[in-house]
Structure 1
């Protein structure tokens, strides 16, 4: 059963609608002890990284997330929260994956935010992308991105520059795109995560 971290800044409706379509049981995590009720965790996207981090700290959820040993999936802002630092709000984040979240402005000529469908290239044999064709298109909406590198990066996308479309470390997984809005391939990714 999947627990969705309810920190007041996530797009809860979209992810719950997708899980309902897939017949995946879920519930909400509002306080630290709620984590014990679930075997997988999703940190949803949408919102401001600085404000989201503040809510996680105030609710006592941040320290619990850092210590989790069960599978965790971050989506969009939920992915960015796993990094060390974000230029959005000039804030230190959870520090689970030692990368930085940067703003597209001043670094690309393209329109910001990056919004719409874009293809990603992922590592072969990555369980998160099982049964998904490489270079599939996923739906993105973001003005900030995580730097591209090969230690924790498991998928890349290009929008004026290459950036991390997905990252992982140990039991933590994260995607910059919105699988819940990415049609069949996005639903397959959620099904894959549910099988971890």
Structure 2
């Protein structure tokens, strides 16, 4: 069973539909008990960091999620969900994250060439790091696979956790992992067959 955390932020329907398409049992839930019963957990998210982390903590799901992470359960964050797994974010202030993946969330506008638009939106190719090539999340993926992004902030100071980058004026963090906790800045559920293969690989971890 894959439990998708519902804390009022995230595109839950398309994610659940993608898992259903793959024949993977899944449940969208606000119940902490479902995190304990789950084999895998997905933390989705769209919108602003400060609002999302407050809603996650206010939902009562943050601490149970941390407990399951410490217990070694496979956990994946998607888009803003991945960002929440990091130590902190500088999106409209400074916000403390869950601290499950070392690193911070920085503003793309401060680091990419001025002629590039923010948010970074649309299809872009994945460049797998040496760690990423060996990671089970990408066992069905290949160098140059295209995935769909929508984001204005990106993972920084996370070199040891990097699984994949995408070029947008600079190498932008596309995926990172720390042990059993992993994240995708892009949307697998919006990335066609490539994304479905990543979700399938996650379910097999």
Band the TM-score falls in, shorter-chain normalisation? over 0.9
Aligned counterpart in structure 2 of residue 112 of structure 1, from 118, 125, 133? 118
Aligned to 2:54: 54
Aligned to 1:191: 200
Q: CA deviation at 1:29?
A: 2.5
Over aligned residues, Cα RMSD in angstroms? Answer: 1.3
Q: CA deviation at 1:148?
A: 5.7
Aligned to 1:40: 40
Q: CA deviation at 1:160?
A: 1.6
Aligned counterpart in structure 2 of residue 100 of structure 1, from 94, 101, 104? 104
Q: Any residues of structure 2 matched to 1:105-184 within 5 Å, and which?
A: 105-108=109-112, 109=114, 110-122=116-128, 123-147=132-156, 149-184=158-193
Q: Of Structure 1 and Structure 2, which has the larger fraction of its residues in helix?
A: 2
Q: Is the 8 A contact 1:9 1:48 kept in 2?
A: no
User: 5+ unaligned residues in a row in structure 1: which ranges?
Assistant: none
Which ranges of 4 or more aligned residues in structure 1 deviate by more than 4 Å?
A: none
Separation in 2 of the partners of 1:155 and 1:168? 10
Quickly say closer, same or farther: Cα 1:148–1:98, change in 2 above 3 A. Answer: closer
Q: Is the 8 A contact 1:166 1:174 kept in 2?
A: yes
Q: Is the 8 A contact 1:148 1:164 kept in 2?
A: no
Q: Is the 8 A contact 1:84 1:96 kept in 2?
A: yes
User: 5+ unaligned residues in a row in structure 2: which ranges?
Assistant: none
Structure-2-length-normalised TM-score: 0.91
